[in-house]
Structure 1
Amino acid sequence: MLIQFKRRFSMAHRLRFDSVSKCMTPHGHNEFVAVSLQPKASAKGMDWGNANYAASFADLKRHWHSFVDDALDHAFQLGVDDPMLGYFRDHESELLPRLLVIQGDPTTEAVATALFMKLNAILAKFRPDFECVRFEIEETPTNSIILTPEDVTGCPIRLGEWCHRADLSLNDLMPVESWGQFAAALKQRSGRATKMMTSRRVFVQGLRIEAAIGIYDHEHGRTQPLIIDAVIDLSLHEIHGLKDTLNYELVGKIARQFVARGHIRLVETLAEDVASELLNLPHVQRVELSIAKPEALSDADRAGVTVVYTH
């Protein structure tokens, strides 16, 4: 005997690897997800003659439908390498909880696999006596994907760590603890806007240092000014003191340590070394570092390079 639940949700995605497909353009679907559950062999099963069920419908579907309604519905599905993620990080970070992100294109096949994994995590936490034996996503009235447990165990790649957590997470862009804030914000909705932190950034602008740098003859045997700008994303843990965050004095300290080692040929090398060192510091998730040479071009204010490093 199988117990099936069906839920409708809306979504949007785009597929970048099929260069001739219309699906390269962001677009949406109204989809249905249907899951079929059964008691595990070790579970009690049907309570014949008393309740006459294995478990109440409301109890079985509560946490899964909460995930579908509160997280999955109206989420924008993207691949982890999609450049649109950079836009959301930099300009609309408050929408990061609304992005479903997996490795590779977010096809219905791949997303269904990720969601099956998510359901398994939810069942393992809240109803370990049940298992899902059939998982279906109806993308359109004529197209569906049906998965069995064998399809999930046979998935050759790690689609995302979020798939294996029994929470409202849809991506690994945000620290795990911030998804708890997201869930709490949903519970507190009472007709007014809710607030949650989606990013924490430390920045340094216009830091000036002197460095022996450059490949041209006139750049040897002397120093020249460099201007450093840094934006550093930190994890969203609780902060009780300086040890829990990043001392922005470290940006200049680390840069000067590399400069002190001797002549540097390329500004790109210095930028990559400093950014990589900053990324290794506690709590740092992402580093965007720019280094400009004001004396590089006579007809420009400055020229330089920007590098971005992430975990």
Structure 2
Amino acid sequence: MTQIEPSKISALPRVEPAERTHQIFIRDYLIDMQIGVYEHEQGITQPVRLNVDLTVTDHLGPMNDDYHNVVCYETLAKAIHAYALKEHINLVETLAEGVADICLEHQRVINAKVKVEKLTAVANTASVGIEINRSKHLNR
């Protein structure tokens, strides 16, 4: 058996603890909005369903049952609604990216998964759409 010299032993690098997170979600948010590239979709509204899943870093310190210590899903929903109704959007991809950007603007939101469904765009389907996953790169 080989003996190791104590001077050759070094400590392993310290690993930072995993950041504590939680999920916030908005389910089946229905918005009648102007969306679509086809001529028959111009100047009319159609129903769109949004589902948003957010990974959020936990509040540092006690929660204290204080509204200011959370990421407010109602505030996000209102911002998403205003964005969706601002002007005609051609692509569901554009809508999904815009919603993800709105969510990631919040300092504590580190990941946004956004699903956009057009409910009446294609006959004999419940919905068609897109789902994206966007993350914020954190500088540590």
Q: Structure 2 length as normaliser, TM-score?
A: 0.82
Query: How much does 1:237 deviate?
Result: 2.7
Is the contact between residue 292 and residue 303 of structure 1 (CA under 8 Å) also seen in structure 2?
yes
In structure 2, the partner of 1:168 is 15
In structure 1, the partner of 2:105 is 280
In structure 1, the partner of 2:69 is 244
Query: How much does 1:3 deviate?
Result: 0.7
Segments of structure 1 that go 5 or more residues without pairing to the other structure are 6-34, 36-63, 69-117, 119-166, 179-198
Structure of larger gyration radius: 1
Query: How much does 1:232 deviate?
Result: 0.6
Segments of structure 2 that go 5 or more residues without pairing to the other structure are none
Is the contact between residue 245 and residue 283 of structure 1 (CA under 8 Å) also seen in structure 2?
no
Is the contact between residue 234 and residue 245 of structure 1 (CA under 8 Å) also seen in structure 2?
no
Is the contact between residue 80 and residue 102 of structure 2 (CA under 8 Å) also seen in structure 1?
no
Q: Percent identity?
A: 24
**Where do 4+ consecutive residues of structure 1 move more than 3 Å?**
none
Distance 1:290 1:245 in 2: 23
Is the contact between residue 54 and residue 109 of structure 2 (CA under 8 Å) also seen in structure 1?
yes
Cα displacement string for residues 43-97 of structure 1 (whole angstroms, at most 9, x for unaligned residues): xxxxxxxxxxxxxxxxxxxxx3xxx5xxxxxxxxxxxxxxxxxxxxxxxxxxxxx
**Is 1:305 the counterpart of 2:130 in the alignment?**
yes
In structure 2, the partner of 1:224 is 46
**Is 1:267 the counterpart of 2:92 in the alignment?**
yes
In structure 2, the partner of 1:235 is 57
Query: How much does 1:219 deviate?
Result: 0.6
Distance 2:109 2:51 in 1: 16
Instruction: Give the helix-richer structure, 1 or 2.
Output: 1
Distance 2:25 2:96 in 1: 15
Query: Which of 121, 129, 134 is equivalent to 1:296?
Result: 121
The one-letter code of the counterpart of 1:308 is N
Cα distance, 1:298–1:251 mapped onto 2, change above 3 Å: farther
Q: With CA pairs under 8 Å and 6+ residues apart, which has the higher RCO, 1 or 2?
A: 2
Distance 2:131 2:80 in 1: 15
- SS of 2:115's equivalent in the other structure is strand
Distance 1:302 1:272 in 2: 19
Cα displacement string for residues 202-240 of structure 1 (whole angstroms, at most 9, x for unaligned residues): 111101111100001111111001101011111023433
Cα displacement string for residues 168-210 of structure 1 (whole angstroms, at most 9, x for unaligned residues): 337xxx42xx4xxxxxxxxxxxxxxxxxxxx300111101111
**Is 1:3 the counterpart of 2:7 in the alignment?**
yes
Distance 1:298 1:204 in 2: 26
Is the contact between residue 209 and residue 256 of structure 1 (CA under 8 Å) also seen in structure 2?
yes
Query: How much does 1:2 deviate?
Result: 7.1
Aligned residues: 129
CA RMSD of aligned residues (A): 2.0
